[in-house]
Structure 1
Amino acid sequence: MGFSRQQKTAPGMAAFGRPRDPVIDLARFFCLVLVVLSHCMMVSPVLHPDGTVTTENTLMEQHWFEPVLWVFQVMPLFFVLGGITGLESWRRLRARGGSGIDYAQLRLLRLIRPATALLASMFVGLWAASLLGVDPEVVQLIATGAGMPLWFLAAYLATQLSVPVLARLHGHSPWLTLGGLVAAVITLDSLRGAFPMLAFVNMLFVWCAVQQFGFFIADGIFAGRSRGWFAG
């Protein structure tokens, strides 16, 4: 009974969306901070006796890191939360007469502006380090480490830009949409040995599939099912 009531209220929520949830925004903020910090800690410059400088993945060498990573799963959680906020933002925009292009522009501006500020700060810092006589090899290693989190931004931006299309498919057949994304992930992964470049394409399907769980949460489907199970 709980599930049926939830399903009846879902169309209204789908039409207008819900207001922003500060708890979700706070959770996204902490996830983002953890992702950036963990990536920065992965690259540690090491000065050898002969004067050469190399990098080591410090975190991966810690025996406790992988179990903790599997338990907390910060990055998937970030994409799930992004699915919740992305779908609700798209629904609010659509209720005001906005289009998919409007949504893409808003998302691009929201993500590109802070990324541009970050890149500008990195460029100025690395340029200053070069002028101060820091070894070019060290500067290159610092640039590599500082740029590591940018792949995460690119993946998140790609999944967010897909929200209007995936939201339409989700509205028609949510489980079939999720199943199609999972099937694409499995298919591309099975072909990755013959075509290594497919790994980069597959990353988009992986994170889009994870993002879909945020769509389900935004619709209250999981909450409705859990209430139905407890009710017997």
Structure 2
Amino acid sequence: MSTSDSEPSSGVITLDGLDLAALIASRVCHDVISPVGAIVNGLEILEDEKDEGMRGFAFDLIKKSAAQASARLQFCRIAFGAAGSAAAVLDLGDAEQVARGFIEDQKTKLVWEAKRQLLLKNKVKLLLNLVLVATTTIPRGGVITVTSEGDGDDHTSFRISATGPTARVPVNVVDLLAGRAPEDRVDAHVIQPFYAGLVARAADMAVTIEAEGDGDTIVTRAVPVSA
């Protein structure tokens, strides 16, 4: 299963800039609305509750949810945005930091073994988006391992393995990475892997995703098209 064609085929869907921006904004809002809602709930408890135990619970909820919202926004800032920098390159060390804050929880562990280096923005954005895709392949959690080979933009490749119970390649994700979508339409539910495919083509990277071993590991690879 592969999205390794360097030239979009006639079946590839093209979104105009406004539609793409709207769908990405919807995805970012989806990622942060839950912790922000929890903060609001915690504040309402503080306003109405006199019991010290419940007030302590509310403070803990607000603190945890604020940290989660911040981590998700920092991840989205790099994965989907311009990262607030005029520079054309990003540090893989920064990518590790935001990925760890976004991905790691009680269900999922992130093992980051990619070499720290500066790479073009789109290559780093692609890596983060592929890590996000990897989370969908292990819906019950597990271990995501990120490695890299080579140095520099023209020679660096990525490998993301996701191991866990009921690991599987989600329906339509291969087509979405290739720029194709069910019923030839893209909505907020599928925009992220579709966007990852757009970034891959912009970065001149070929992406494959497939099950390995006994099927409990899903491996995603991104290599330079010229490699």
TM-score band, normalised by shorter chain: 0.3 to 0.5
Higher helix share: 1
TM-score by length of 1: 0.32
**Larger Cα Rg: Structure 1 or Structure 2?**
1
Q: Which has the higher contact order (CA 8 A, sep 6+)?
A: 1
Higher strand share: 2
